[in-house]
Structure 1
Amino acid sequence: MKIDSLTSVQGQQKLFDNGNARVTKVDGQGEQPQPQQIASTIYHKDDPVLPANYGTYDIKAVINENVEDPETMNARYNRVQELFGFGIAERSVDLELGYLSGVESLSQGLRDKDWGFSIQDGELQVIEGSDSLSDEERSQITDALKGAGVEYAAQSVANAVIEMIETERSPNGLSRSIGRFDVNQSNFADVVDLRSFMEDYQVGGKYGKGIVNPNDIQARYFGAGTGIMDQVAAKADETFLYKGR
């Protein structure tokens, strides 16, 4: 559905709890990985927006004290969880409000066309969908969104997404989870369409079911890492996939 009709935000609240991670430290001589339950977040593409097991997952790893101590690992996973559950949501408030303000100057016909937008190397990018856009229409969309501060808000969201993905990687730079995907400032627009992302979090959208207060924008985007990773998993390369045992 389109989101042009949403114009207010009320009762914003922070709906996030970092949780605690339980990590077992083993010495550097151990060869067999130890199972650990980490209070963190992982992307479950086919799960409901907030599955029953949201916030926990099993990983197998050996923490070598010469590589990453338990406290550092705890802090790293807590940061991933914070960004996944709340950090992206917080930044999405300005993104949506700026978008709504910007598209007011566009004709209804142009609003209804299938197009998206994103950010790449600090520049707003208009993404053509199933409808073709003339150069003039692209310019109109770009000017309208930039004038409403959407470029800045989109960069803020992109920064949070990239930090979340990069932070999830272990010290060797690899991951079996969300960190395995290659998302950076230069390819963000090729991977994430922010207009599509916002539409997924509207009432009746893919992740907008069961919303209590549709005017509470930040609450609507709680767990927004799920919507972002839905696109990332479909388009990004698994450059940093850990293939070892």
Structure 2
Amino acid sequence: MNIKLSNQLNMVGACLTIAQNAENKAVWDGHGPADFALDLARLDTDYQAALAKAAQLDGAQGGSADAKAVAETALEEAAHVLARALTVHFQKTSAWQRLRQVDLSRTDIGRLRNQELLARATEIRDAGVAAKDEPGAAGRGVTPERLTALTAAIDAFAAVMSVPRSQIVNRSTLAKELETDIAGLLVAIGQLDDLALQFGGTPAGDRFVETWRRARMIIDRGGTNGNGDAPKPAATPPAPPAT
């Protein structure tokens, strides 16, 4: 995947991370315009699908081992985020037995390999499915969006493990598909830009709008720097301004 597409994909991920932050989610969750929440959930689903396709493309470019590494990292991250949300939820509800199933650090998850990682990620996902409708769960990050993200990551990793390198889809065809998918993500996030503006007017709302705006600036940073080196994509969303 070229640098421009990589940066565009990173930008979408940064915006999703910002919007799903607990403080920012309180600004838009349950508040108008209602289409923001619906469109954000759809964007998250489409973004996870694009990530899976990007992993396939990396496999076509650099071999199945590279594709597996990308998908493995994506799965580890998605499992860790939901596991920590569930940890908080089970601590606050005194569900100690359930807590032991999900109380994993990023290092713990990173040590898991192949089927063991798939199995543990699936356990975390299933624990989230069981807990998502419990009082307080959504406010702690146990949301349908997180469950969808983890399910997509599980499916992507399982797929890249099961497909032999010789059967990986044609590189040029896959690159064109990914470019089209990312173009769709950019259209969708452009519409979310207009909806996000409507959450301004309060200190929390203004912080959300500003951090969203700053994350959007990651877009279109392809090319090289003055030394002829490709710039590194920004993977971490900007911190909200101090109150």
The TM-score normalised by the length of structure 1 is: 0.31
The TM-score normalised by the length of structure 2 is: 0.31
**Larger RCO, structures 1/2 (Cα 8 Å, 6+ apart):** 2
The structure with more helix, counted as a fraction of residues: 2
Greater gyration radius: 1
